[in-house]
Structure 1
Amino acid sequence: MADQAFVTLATNDSYSLGAMVLGKSLRNHNTTRKLVVLVGPNVSEPRQSVLRRIYDDVKVVDVLDSGDTAHLALMKRPDLGVTLTKLHCWTLTQYSKCVFMDADTLVLSNIDELFDREELSAAPDPGWPDCFNSGVFVFRPSVETYGKLLQYCTEKGSFDGGDQGVLNGFFNDWATADISKHLPFVYNLSSIAIYTYLPAFKQFGGSAKVVHFLGQTKPWSYTFDPQTKQISGGSQEAPTHPAFLLDWWTLYASAVVPMLQEQYGDEPFLTGCMESQESDTTVTTETVQVESSSSHAPMEPVMSSEQRKEQWEQGQADYMGMDSFDNIKRKLDTFLK
């Protein structure tokens, strides 16, 4: 299907790591569609070089310097710069239909059947199910739709300050107009929603096709020991299922790191900034490492998924630690942002 494509966006070097793993996961599950990545101007040339080995098309987009309608819209709403960059996916008119996937998603099985869906098909957001989550959605590229989206941004803005607010405002009949455009949650399983409904995850989680690492803490924020398969570090503000983190890191270490080392030399780690996809503000600086077990003593391992599920189901949440009120509040605040 040369006229259909999976599309993602990497706004910086950190998100480029996610895009690399996403692309590899799509290839590993034998997609028959093209792979396209939109990259921001801050993505370095070595990272772009690796992306070109994974994706069919690497397109640099810079809304600030485009000189088109997006430029004018951005002058009125500078806070929506990265959002408008994401909307560039509607300009890919060489394709008849596309599936957009955030760079912090991971494909667990072949999902080519999504191309049977129509615009705008998406899964409900775990925070407000009458809204769709914009991490995975089916769309039809169109210059006309792109223009209308920019106009909407200029006139209405975004109710959440990001692309999800814009898209839900623009496609405002999603919740009620056509149930066939409601993707099953397994196509966009939120990594931080798992523990809010553990019985459902136990029943249906094995059918997950796409996991979405929502929240500020991304997979590349953790540390991984490939010899012991241990993951450590990160943040407990948005707990992520250890099995999905292990899937991400195993693929990253085996398929992506060798290509990165060809660009950077045999460095044992990569350093980048963990930046929010909704803004250009640097949140924190993280070190993304692939360590040997001899580099230093391992940090305390993440609690296994079964252990934590059992504790929650038995009413034995760690209210003095990771499940304390303050931690839960921080998790909710991060999600609502």
Structure 2
Amino acid sequence: MAAATQNQAFVTLTTNDAYAKGALVLGCSLKQQGTTRKLVVLSTPQVSDAMRKALETVFDEVLTVDVLDSGDSAHLTLMKRPELGVTLTKLHCWSLTQYSKCVFMDADTLVLANIDDLFEREELSAAPDPGWPDCFNSGVFVYQPSAETYSQLLQLAAEQGSFDDSLFVGGHGLVDEQMTVLEVSHSEAPAGRHPRAGSPLFGASAKVVHFLGRVKPWNYTYDPQTKSVKSVSHDTPVTHPELLGLWWGLFTTSIAPLLQTFGLTHGPGSYLSVEQVSGAVSHLSLGESPTAPQPFVSSEERKERWEQGQADYLGVDSFDNIQRKLDTYLQ
């Protein structure tokens, strides 16, 4: 690695085990595309020890940071995304002063081509937000760590909340012929249009895919035999299956075996192999109904799914199970 690039890094953030899966896929995609920069992940205490060990096998540095919450309920309610309050935690990335320049990427992004040329950009280079084109989207941006900037951002966040980018007015755009961020969401169509100009779909030139919205790739299920992505509920239809398929293809080949090594399950976005299903059927007694084994879901992940309206109404969160639990407490 050249001396000029040794102190540059791609940085991401995970606040729980679910988002850690996205971070792992992102890290693998960066390595797959031949990056020469360091990989750093900021991890909050909500990430389990086992998942941290998995992250350490992909990232050069796994750094623990505290959760920052904007408390800006007015803007977040307007956006119908109350869970975004903790996204201010990514401000910690400016404290990484051991690096001269970094590219921050959300854990729900996927790299399709080498993007090391982003380090030639100035602070702050970012893509316009598709819903708020006069603001930048903080999913992918180029920045320079600085103790002074970090302090100013914390003060700005405390005074004005999460919806103000005034510190970087006059920033530089990332969406051009060299660098395309393809922003896709299950609730927004058509995806892949230029956020400002509304230009035709240009996904073929995309180097980064950003999965926007509440529903993330790991919230779906995947059949590795047919290589098809399936929704977990009628409220979350499968859109852009080819892009979700790219994410799940990398997860299946590189991340799932890694998680198994550390005793971690696949979680909400799980899949069952033919061997698992066959094993379950072979242990059934005569007259029993074949039931696929259910993956373990941590209390943190289960709480997150409830908050996102993705309760497992046919499984662990069914009415009968809830009533049974209530009866236990009452007794």
TM-score normalised to structure 2 length: 0.71
CA distance in 2 between partners of 1:239 and 1:189 (Å): 17
Spell out the pairing of 1:256-275 with structure 2 (5 A cutoff).
256-264=255-263, 268=272, 269=295, 271=297, 273=301
Report the equivalent of 2:322: none
Q: Over residues 259-286 of structure 1, what are the superposed CA-to-partner deviations in whole Å (9 max), with x where a residue is unaligned?
A: 100111788546352787xxx9943557
Cα deviation for residue 55 of structure 1 reads 0.2
Of all paired residues, the percent bearing the same amino acid is 52
Q: Which amino acid aligns with 1:195?
A: P
The question of whether the paired residues in 2 share the 8 Å contact of 1:213 and 1:240 is answered with no
The question of whether the paired residues in 2 share the 8 Å contact of 1:20 and 1:54 is answered with yes
Report the equivalent of 2:129: 125
CA distance in 2 between partners of 1:208 and 1:173 (Å): 24
Matched, 1:29 2:8: no
Question: What CA RMSD, in Å, does the superposition of the two structures yield over aligned residues?
Answer: 2.9
Cα deviation for residue 84 of structure 1 reads 3.5
Report the equivalent of 1:253: 252
- Distance change >3 Å, CA 182–CA 239, structure 1 → 2: farther
Report the equivalent of 2:139: 135
The question of whether the paired residues in 1 share the 8 Å contact of 2:180 and 2:205 is answered with no
- Distance change >3 Å, CA 169–CA 266, structure 1 → 2: closer
Q: Over residues 133-175 of structure 1, what are the superposed CA-to-partner deviations in whole Å (9 max), with x where a residue is unaligned?
A: 11000000000000000111111122xxxxxx24x2332333x
Report the equivalent of 1:189: 182
CA distance in 1 between partners of 2:114 and 2:32 (Å): 9
Report the equivalent of 1:241: 240
CA distance in 1 between partners of 2:90 and 2:306 (Å): 16
CA distance in 2 between partners of 1:140 and 1:266 (Å): 36
Report the equivalent of 1:62: 66
Spell out the pairing of 1:159-178 with structure 2 (5 A cutoff).
165-166=163-164, 168-174=165-171
CA distance in 2 between partners of 1:274 and 1:100 (Å): 28
Structure ID, larger Rg: 2
The question of whether the paired residues in 2 share the 8 Å contact of 1:12 and 1:275 is answered with no
CA distance in 1 between partners of 2:51 and 2:148 (Å): 32
CA distance in 2 between partners of 1:81 and 1:196 (Å): 25
Report the equivalent of 2:210: 212
- Distance change >3 Å, CA 196–CA 256, structure 1 → 2: closer
SS of structure 2 residue aligned to 1:41:
coil
CA distance in 2 between partners of 1:83 and 1:266 (Å): 26
CA distance in 1 between partners of 2:221 and 2:201 (Å): 30
CA distance in 2 between partners of 1:257 and 1:117 (Å): 34
CA distance in 1 between partners of 2:100 and 2:156 (Å): 23
CA distance in 2 between partners of 1:265 and 1:37 (Å): 19
Spell out the pairing of 1:2-41 with structure 2 (5 A cutoff).
2-41=6-45
Report the equivalent of 1:92: 96
Q: Between Structure 1 and Structure 2, which shows a larger proportion of helix residues?
A: 1
CA distance in 2 between partners of 1:10 and 1:217 (Å): 16
The question of whether the paired residues in 1 share the 8 Å contact of 2:184 and 2:192 is answered with no
| Stretches of structure 2 lacking an aligned partner (at least 5 in a row) | 74-83, 267-271, 273-294, 313-331
| Stretches of structure 1 lacking an aligned partner (at least 5 in a row) | 65-73, 159-164, 175-180, 288-337
Cα deviation for residue 253 of structure 1 reads 0.5
Report the equivalent of 1:162: none
> Which stretch of the first structure deviates more once superposed, 126-135 or 252-261?
126-135
TM-score normalised to structure 1 length: 0.70
> Which stretch of the first structure deviates more once superposed, 227-236 or 117-126?
227-236
Q: Which amino acid aligns with 1:109?
A: A
Matched residues, number = 261
